[in-house]
């Protein structure tokens, strides 16, 4: 391992010890609803959910489901929440190619244009190293969809977590790429790199920032974006170095600071974050230790909600899931709806998608 990478790993492990101190909070009165989006499905595995509030005030969710991740039969499934319950999920996208061959689909992300269509971004390809970005549009809140369209070369779309709308109306999509090997295998540069994609014309065209610099050789992917006011943004990302990664922008996401470690543990698992209407920052993640020198992923339990006033010091506010399961609780997505309630969806043991509704006023 290069010396700089070894020193970075050591520093990150120190943050894990600090962040693991304390006792997880109980669910308490903050949890208003806890349910599954569906009870049975025509496929054995589901993963990587996304949730959105549509223009008609209803919720909608999507995820990928199939025989197994990376299998060509994996498709994008979608469900609306109407009349107080989730409707029967429907398959809305697959990886069938023009020549009849089929590729797996990955990581859907729903995004509502406040003045227009509901967008569904997703990826198609044999692996995350080789996939490409796709997008579909719906003008009726997901009841019907237009044809899928491939994004321009070099544009992947939001890789796991939702885009945000900036003060000037531009859309900013958090994205990333994955390569073959990482710094822990002895390479001299990170193989996971985050970047951001911007659209000034409501998704018709996109530009892309350079990869965010990572001088401490932190492998980072799947960022989400927080707002700090006056054009200051913060990205929080998944890493392979045992702690979440972070980067800051002071010009509305055009340039970003070097990636650094955040004092939140990360067992190499996806997370999602947002800035609440009251100004607090909220992240949903797996609060578990993982030695980055050990290949693979750490435990995906417990699943925890944490809060911060400044994006740096975080306090554990709520434990959503605690009991160990074979595949754990993973890949949360989180939004705040117009009524102020917070909605979280996540993978439950790789078989179903769970939906939890929180009252953020009771989170502290």
Please count the other Cβ atoms lying within 10 Å of the Cβ belonging to residue 215.
12
For the residues 110-128, what does the mean pLDDT come to? 98
pLDDT digits (tens, 9 = 90+) for 76-96: 999 999 999 999 999 999 999
Q: How many CA atoms lie within 13 A of 267 on its CB side?
A: 19
Q: What is the CA radius of gyration of the chain?
A: 19
User: Nearest to residue 177, comparing CAs of 242, 209, 221?
Assistant: 221
Q: Could you say which DSSP state residue 96 is in?
A: B
What is the model's pLDDT at position 14?
42
Pair of tokens at residue 216: 């401490």
Lay out the sheet containing 207-208: strands in order across. 164-165, 171-178, 192-199, 207-208
How buried is residue 276: exposed, middle or buried, by Cβ count under 10 Å (0-12/13-18/19+)? middle
d(C-alpha 152, C-alpha 329), whole Å: 33
> Given phi > 0 = left and psi -120 to 50 = alpha, else beta, which region is 327?
alpha
Alpha helices in 180-294 (DSSP H): none
Find out whether 108 and 125 touch, Cβ atoms under 8 Å. no
Please count the other Cβ atoms lying within 10 Å of the Cβ belonging to residue 301.
22
105 pLDDT band, cuts 50/70/90, is very high
pLDDT digits (tens, 9 = 90+) for 9-21: 544 544 443 444 4
- Go through the chain and tell me how many residues it has: 364
pLDDT digits (tens, 9 = 90+) for 240-255: 999 999 999 999 999 9
pLDDT at 32 over 70: yes
* Cut 0.85: pTM above it: yes
User: Nearest to residue 236, comparing CAs of 270, 197, 287?
Assistant: 270
pLDDT digits (tens, 9 = 90+) for 315-354: 999 999 999 999 999 999 999 999 999 999 999 999 999 9
DSSP β-bridge partners for residue 28: none
């Amino acid at each position: 391992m290069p010396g700089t990478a070894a020193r970075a790993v050591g520093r990150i492990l120190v943050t894990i010890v600090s962040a693991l101190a304390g006792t997880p909070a109980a669910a308490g009165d903050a949890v208003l609803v806890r349910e599954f989006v569906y009870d049975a499905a025509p496929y054995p595995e589901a993963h990587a959910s996304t949730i959105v509030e549509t223009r008609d005030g209803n919720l909608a969710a999507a995820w990928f489901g199939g025989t197994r991740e990376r299998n060509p039969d994996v498709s994008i499934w979608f469900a609306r929440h109407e009349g107080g319950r989730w409707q029967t999920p429907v398959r809305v996208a697959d990886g069938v190619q023009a020549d009849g061959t089929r590729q797996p689909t990955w990581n859907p992300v729903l995004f509502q244009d406040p003045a227009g269509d509901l967008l569904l971004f997703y990826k198609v390809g044999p692996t995350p190293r080789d996939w490409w970005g796709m997008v579909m549009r719906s003008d009726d809140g997901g009841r019907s969809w237009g044809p899928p369209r491939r994004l321009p070369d070099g544009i992947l779309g939001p890789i796991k977590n939702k885009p945000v709308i900036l003060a000037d109306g531009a859309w900013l999509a958090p994205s990333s790429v994955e390569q073959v090997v990482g710094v822990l295998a002895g390479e001299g540069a990170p193989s996971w790199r985050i970047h951001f994609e911007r659209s000034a014309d409501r998704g018709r065209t996109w530009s892309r920032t350079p990869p965010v610099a990572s001088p401490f050789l932190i492998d980072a992917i799947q960022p989400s974006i927080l707002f700090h006011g006056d054009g200051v943004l913060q990205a929080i990302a998944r890493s392979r170095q045992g702690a979440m990664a972070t980067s800051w922008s002071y010009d509305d996401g055009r340039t970003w600071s070097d990636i650094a470690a955040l004092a939140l543990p990360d067992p190499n698992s996806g997370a999602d974050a947002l800035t609440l209407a009251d100004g607090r920052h909220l992240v949903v993640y797996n609060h578990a230790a993982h030695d980055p020198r050990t290949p693979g992923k750490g435990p995906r339990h417990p699943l925890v909600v944490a809060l911060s006033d400044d994006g740096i010091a975080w306090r554990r506010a709520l434990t959503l899931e605690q009991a160990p399961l074979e595949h754990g609780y993973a890949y949360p997505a989180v939004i705040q709806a117009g009524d102020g309630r917070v909605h979280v969806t996540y993978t439950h043991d790789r078989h179903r998608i769970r939906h939890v509704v929180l009252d953020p006023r009771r989170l502290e």
